[in-house]
Structure 1
Amino acid sequence: RISLYLSNSKIMDQYDEFGNYVGPELEDSDYDEGDDFGDVDDNEYENDGHMVVHDDEMDQDNTESNDNNRIVLHEDKKYYPEAEEVFPGVKTVTLDEDAQELNEPIIKPIKPKNFSILQKEAPALVYESEFLTSLMNTPTLIRNIAILGQFHHGKTVFVDTLVAATHADDWDPSKEVRYTDTRKDEQDRQLSVKSTAVSLVLENIKSKSYLLNILDCPGHVNFSDESTAALRAADGAVIVVDAVEGVMMNTERLIKHALQARLPICLVINKMDRLVLELKLPPQDAYFKLLHTLEEVNNLIVAHTHASAKPQRLSPELGNVCFAAGQHGWSFTLASFAALYCARHPRFGLNATDLAKRLWGDWYFNTEKNAFSKSKPSAGGVRTFVQYILEPLYKIYAHTIGETPE
């Protein structure tokens, strides 16, 4: 082993610190002998016949130490892993040029977003604003009303008819203003999202002015919290029902909430024009359709009224049922229609209150006796609601739709 060490030291003296050969010149035979070293087995024998076994682990450690001590150029050094190694499968793009315009700031200023479309200037009204404020000092003349109903049953458009009656300037009848939809998303989607309050001064049949604080509530079931909150602030609930669709699931839920709040209920049967234009029902069948809707609402009131309270009854002759067509801008009760007849035909000397009670139900006009009766005339006839209300409305629509452009 000492001889092996001495031979290795002699060999190392033939190379400088950079591994370059500095010993004597070698002949070709020396190169050939060096090439045969690879054919010798790993196990060698000493001169005395003993076998010398090389340690492979020692050789591996020597190899690793040589790799660590190897000189690497600066441009070949690797300090951090490549992006492809850290994020495999991700495409890396390097932008050498600035794509931002020169007139565009790096940090943009904050722009406040406006979602409201409220009018900045108050519209011209048929009454003075001082008159409205004076009514606020008289609680007996104030009515707080919540407009409730199923989704797309025409609550907002019905409120438009009330708002238009208080404006001095006429609205375009071909456009839906949706006055209480004060948000841009509500106008775009034609869907109420928030409850909107509006104060109006309206007159009754006797020309008595009242201050109405109207809460137009969303009809979508996802915004039912708005309706629940409005019922806490209201003195009464107005249920709007589509004349064609009738009572829906959300309508029943709203009636139940109104009864739980112990609020009086009024019914508005809206979209009466659909009975004429879409269903094309005869006046007699339209009457039975309205009667069915009214009975369905009354049954729900009886079912959800507290046992200790008396169920409220909704009926047109009682004045708590209104018929309307919000898209065409008209609405009426039996009392208002009776007052219209009495004003147009004063020579008959009719009383509007007595006439209104005979315009609903099984009432007929006997032309032979020139009087109203509960029994159907022998000559035949139709109910007074059909004869004096529905048939004139049908004639107006038939005349308007059937009119030629000339």
Structure 2
Amino acid sequence: MKAKLHIPSSRIRGARSVIAAAALAVMAGWAAPQAQAQEKTFLIGCSLPLSGPLVGFGEPMKEGAQFAVDTYNEAKAFPEAKFVLQCYDSKADPKETINIAERLADQADVIASISDFSSTATMAAADTYERAGLLQMTPSASHPDLTKMNDWMFRASETVNVYVPPMADFIIDKLGKKKVAVLQVQTDWGLAVADAFTKQLEERGGELVQQSVYKEGTTDFRAIITQLKRAQPEAIYLAMLEEEAANFAKQLKQLGMGDIPVVDSAVGVTPRSVGLAGGAMEGWYLATIFNPNNPDPNVQNFIKGFEAKYNRKADVWSAYGFDAATLIMQAATRAWPDVTRERVRDELANNTKDYKGANGDLSIDPETREVSRQHIFVSQVKDGKIQTVAEN
């Protein structure tokens, strides 16, 4: 399903009351089981980059997932049981992701795993989870082939085919630009993003004037920027990671191309990378599904509760973690009293429709296990902050 591009118009009292409100919002629309039994403990595994260059994604995802677990337990949404989040640092290393998957698979009380941030790391552990018959829920990996790998793979995010094409439309329709350069990281995700963007751009009558590929961890982009100067694009589209995007932004400005419109695929521009760029990302655009101005009570209660718990702003990554954990817990609750790995997997696949989450509404297709959403939002870096773009 192709999402529709949406460009909307534009404290917290006691932490306890806010988190309680978030709990009520998450549970809305379904009833907790009535049977009474001795409380059981179910473990939700967690494999995320909690150190290294991708910690800016992994840490808020972990915090969002932990907030979801705490909220669910405090609300007694599953009276017969409680959940415990068991997180490990994958460092975004595919080998480490496999090791963590093997460790979790051997623990009988683990009913599902939140794993991992990147498509490459997530795909590396897919066979391990499949052999163990253990649900693997990635909060954010968006490679279109992920859920095709096996029947145990799920995601709380949308594929590149949902959030990338609308940004090609945005460049043509809103920015009025047709000659575009693409810069992509050399990963499975980077390739998928570049392919989806180029296809939509050309279908809309745009022209790809330069496509550059760089290795993950690159810090010097001056040679690529020199090539961009020769190509003379009217806009640049990025499939980059945050530290690399920050370095690219600073060098782009230093080499006299700071005024060209830059549109990010949703991973390179983050609060952390904006800070690292030191003002060089000012004016950049990005796609996002998280809209802090969304009046939906589920979204607002999540934002207030998260900020009360962690004393910092919620973002799309913490929302992904919250939704991933909540989807798993709701599936386990529906499976009661037969809370097995297989039953949790089946409940998640077959009975997740119109879930009201931190990142808005979503449904999971029973056949493909893909997430569908209605809107993709556009944000922009303004005054050093990422802000939702106001409607013209």
Larger RCO (CA within 8 A; separation ≥ 6): 2
Structure with larger Rg: 1
Higher strand share: 2
